[in-house]
Copies of this chain bind each other. A is one copy, B any other.
Amino acid sequence: MAAKEPKKAWQEIAASSQKRRDETIAAIDPPIPDVPSELPRNVTHIPRELLTTKEVEITESSPEEILEELRTGRWSAFNVTNAFLRRAGLAQKLCNCITELLPQRALERAKYLDRYFAEHKTPIGPLHGLPISVKEHLTMKGLDINAGFVGWVGRVGEEDSHILRLLWNAGAVFYVRTTQPQTLMHLETSSNLYGVTVNPFNRELTSGGSSGGEGALLGLRGSCLGIGTDIGGSIRSPAANNGVFGLKPTSYRLPVYGWSAAMLGEEQIIPCIGPMSTSLEGIKLFMKVLIDQRPWLTEPSLLPFEWRDSKDWLRREDGKRRLKVAVLWDDGIVKPHPPIIAALQAMVHGMKKSEDISVVNWKPYKHDLAWEIIASLYFCDGGDEEMAALESSGEPLRPLSEFILKENPHTRRRSIDEVWKLTVRREQYKAAYAKIWNDTGKDGDVVDVILCPVGPGAAPPLDCSRYWGYTSQWNLLDYPALVFPITKSNPDRDAKDLDYVPRNEQDRYNYDLYDPEKYRDAPISLQLVGRRYEDEKVIQALDFIMEETGWVFDSKMIDRPGI
């Protein structure tokens, strides 16, 4: 009888995963420079000091700028790819945000594209030569798909995820896979496989999650366009924490076949894929390129509707463009920290100068009930599948796994009858919210979009992202939600309100977290939310606000002064 191979300890598996990651980084040519052994809190300036001017120019360009250079043949796909490989490798040393680089397949792909361009004098598709970063969650052929569980290491993808195939068709280059947290159900990114992904603007803060590898990488400009996933804030929290754009689209618009996760088949709350980018154009491009390929023909759960960006969603019957924005200052449960309120105030102040933007207040409707419903529907098996995946290696629970699986009073095994009852409550809540939205039109125009925080503060200190309400609210309602950067935390400006009396335990927790100095340099972002399936309108609304207020988002935002 053959002796059974002894089971490896989880630490051993993690060490070998990290070793494999480091080998992919070591393979980059020219080698990635070392970083100081004592890193400062804010490391965003470091890549500029260690990369070539050309590499900095490439990696700090927006997706649309890069594509323009590639389309005209001024830049080669090879050089662009190698620049991003180098900056991503560096980002790993600064923030621990990647699980592996893919130099061989990326550079081969880039060379192929360059040959194609040389031969045909035209790009292969709308994303010709654009490097795209990919959360490890999404299956890639021949590579590990562990979903953040040590016990799943060694599961290997049989074919690329549907979304990757479509981006590939359009000319993309995949060059890096990014970190994800244990269980994928944190608003941070920490796992026993790869440790903690930290925030490049302030390494004592979280990069957010669960797409926090993407977030930190984008924040450091080791990527200009990446793919995240979101069931409670997992695209938006890292986009916000790292000062980039992120869109959680309405459900069933983008293809999800071929991701790896526990609880596949769960449909009560729909998980979404969406883009994260250093520019709003990157977000638009991603959506359009995918939807133009009619992914519903292959993945029938998707809705067969075009990307409707040729329609002007803000044009009124009188021919003029107008926008009505409702501001949700506070969800009534947890009061946002001063820098968030200040950002909202600045936005409102700017918008009020425009004749064509009207601003009203949005009164939150039972956001605590919304959390109760969504939190009850997240783990209808009581977390058994997640726990089994954890137990398969014996790895311990990370603090935020403990928080969502064990401390969350709504996590328990449900009978199908209970699930049906919760589903009915979900629909009732959605109908009540829709009615409130409809009623805003009683005295004139109906509200177009809601402007609100992305969380009750900027990126929290590690293991402290315990309030999901500002993002999960829109998952429950299945509304599209777009995150965009505004400014950075500034201790000299954003004093703590020492007289504030917290409303409840969650509010106290959040209040106690705030200390202006701790949050220094953390990006401040906000969220624009639209009605279900008005993804295109939300994007146009942000463009319109920018036009009307004269604000500019610079893809080199690292040094962009606050408004």
Contact = CB atoms under 8 A, between A and B. Distances in A.
A267 B299 CA distance: 19
A549 interface: no
B381 A532 contact: no
A257 interface: yes
A2 interface: no
Contact of A303 (B416, B419, B431, B533): B533
Contacts of A297: 434, 438
Contacts of A421: 265
A380 to B, nearest CB: 4
Given A265-B424, A420-B264, A422-B265, A381 B415 contact: yes
A42 interface: no
Given A264-B424, A300-B532, A533-B303, A416 B417 contact: no
A144 to B, nearest CB: 21
Given A263-B420, A265-B422, A301 B430 contact: yes
A420 B266 contact: yes
A40 interface: no
Interface string A296-327: 11111101110000000000000000000000
A353 to B, nearest CB: 31
A297 B441 CA distance: 12
A532 B301 CA distance: 9
Given A267-B267, A267-B268, A434 B298 contact: yes
A413 interface: yes
A139 B301 CA distance: 30
A393 interface: no
Contacts of A268: 267
A384 interface: yes
A218 B502 CA distance: 64
Interface string A525-563: 000000111100000000000000000000000000000
A478 B302 CA distance: 12
B417 A384 contact: yes
A365 to B, nearest CB: 13
A356 interface: no
A554 to B, nearest CB: 34
A259 to B, nearest CB: 12
Interface in A27-55: none
B532 A304 contact: yes
Contacts of A532: 296, 300, 304
Given A298-B431, A427-B301, A438-B298, A419 B416 contact: yes
A380 B299 CA distance: 25
A148 to B, nearest CB: 19
Interface string A473-501: 00001100000000000000000000000
Contacts of A433: 300
A438 B257 CA distance: 17
B422 A300 contact: no
A381 B417 contact: yes
Contacts of A263: 420
A306 to B, nearest CB: 10
Given A381-B415, A416-B416, A434 B300 contact: yes
Interface in A398-415: 413-415
Nearest to A382: B416
Nearest to A384: B417
B424 A385 contact: no
A24 interface: no
Given A431-B300, A438-B298, A532-B304, A423 B267 contact: yes
Interface string A272-309: 00000000000000000000000011111101110000
A516 to B, nearest CB: 40
Nearest to A432: B300
A166 to B, nearest CB: 14
A494 to B, nearest CB: 37
Given A265-B424, A267-B423, A532-B300, A257 B416 contact: no
Contacts of A304: 531-534
A442 interface: no
B420 A265 contact: yes
A435 interface: yes
A421 B257 CA distance: 15
Contacts of A267: 267-268, 423
Chain B CB count within 10 A is highest, among A263, A296, A297, A300, for A300
A385 B417 contact: yes
A32 B69 CA distance: 82
A385 B242 CA distance: 49
Contact of A257 (B415, B431, B478): B431
Contacts of A477: 300
Given A267-B268, A300-B532, A414-B416, 14 more contacts: A257-B431, A265-B427, A267-B423, A296-B532, A297-B434, A299-B431, A300-B431, A300-B433, A300-B477, A303-B533, A304-B531, A304-B532, A381-B417, A385-B417
Q: Ordered nearest first, which 3 A-B pairs have the shortest CB separation?
A: A265-B420, A265-B423, A265-B424
7 contacts: A266-B420, A266-B423, A299-B434, A300-B532, A303-B303, A414-B416, A419-B419
